[in-house]
């Protein structure tokens, strides 16, 4: 599995249900990397998607403990144990990549299964943030394999940093 996230300097990812920053080029890159593949998210991340619909051209999986939750276009799972049988069924040859797209609670549960990460590092600390993911720079089992030049958009500086599990 692959993590794909935009983080600030403190590895914060969201505030009040929203992402910390709006970076159109990053969203475009997210779409290009994930299209044709499988995306996994928590119910709160789904609710942060404009329109709250499935991401087009991707297989969308959402986690919720609400057994009555119903949303067109999503595989809805009520616990982690259901994930691997589902992936086995819908992606038996492993031809599609499986992206963990958020939020913090889902990452914490699936990080042990991830071996790659596409992190957009926003070079700023946001004052207001309530959701984070683990800092891979502090985790000795991860290493950086690629780092872009600094990008600039919407008054923000950021770079794309790719990690793999050692």
Task: Find, among 121, 163, 122, the residue nearest to 146 by Cα.
Answer: 163
Work out which of 11, 63, 74, 99 binds ligand NAP, going by CB under 6 A.
63
- Cβ atoms of residues 44 and 17 within 8 Å: yes
Examine residue 78 and tell whether it contacts ligand NAP (CB under 6 A).
yes
Examine residue 163 and tell whether it contacts ligand NAP (CB under 6 A).
no
Shortest approach of ligand NAP to residue 30 CB, angstroms? 8
- Cα–Cα–Cα angle for 40, 75, 87, rounded to 5 degrees: 65
Q: Where in 13-32 is the site for ligand NAP (CB under 6 A)?
A: 13-14, 17-19
Query: With CB under 6 A as the contact rule, which of the stretches 44-52, 91-99, 110-118, 154-162 interacts with ligand NAP?
Result: 44-52
Shortest approach of ligand NAP to residue 93 CB, angstroms? 26
CB atoms within 10 A of CB 84: 10
| 19 strand-pairing partners | 14
Give the span between the Cα atoms of 46 and 77, in whole angstroms.
13
Shortest approach of ligand NAP to residue 141 CB, angstroms? 21
Examine residue 54 and tell whether it contacts ligand NAP (CB under 6 A).
no
**Cβ nearer to ligand NAP, comparing 9 with 18:** 18
Name the strands in the sheet holding 12-15, side by side, starting at the edge strand that comes first in the sequence: 18-19, 12-15, 131-132
Work out which of 1, 6, 39, 40 binds ligand NAP, going by CB under 6 A.
6
Task: Find, among 148, 146, 118, 144, the residue nearest to 1 by Cα.
Answer: 118
Chain residues in the site for ligand NAP (CB under 6 A): 5-6, 13-14, 17-19, 41-45, 48, 63-66, 78-80, 101-106, 109, 131
């Amino acid at each position: 599995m692959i993590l794909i996230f935009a983080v600030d300097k403190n590895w914060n990812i969201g505030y009040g249900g929203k992402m910390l920053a709006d970076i159109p080029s990053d969203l475009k890159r997210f779409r290009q990397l994930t299209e044709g593949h499988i995306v996994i998210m928590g119910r709160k991340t789904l609710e942060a998607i404009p329109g709250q619909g499935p991401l087009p051209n991707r297989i969308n999986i959402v986690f919720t403990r609400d057994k009555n939750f119903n949303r067109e276009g999503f595989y809805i799972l009520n616990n982690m144990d259901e994930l691997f049988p589902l992936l086995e069924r819908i992606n038996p040859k492993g031809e599609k990549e499986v992206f963990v797209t958020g939020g913090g609670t889902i990452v914490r549960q699936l990080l042990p299964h991830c071996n790659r990460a596409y992190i957009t590092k926003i070079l700023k600390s946001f004052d207001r943030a309530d959701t984070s993911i683990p800092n891979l720079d502090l985790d000795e089992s991860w290493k950086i394999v690629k780092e872009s030049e600094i990008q600039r958009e919407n008054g923000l500086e950021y770079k794309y940093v790719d990690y793999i599990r050692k």
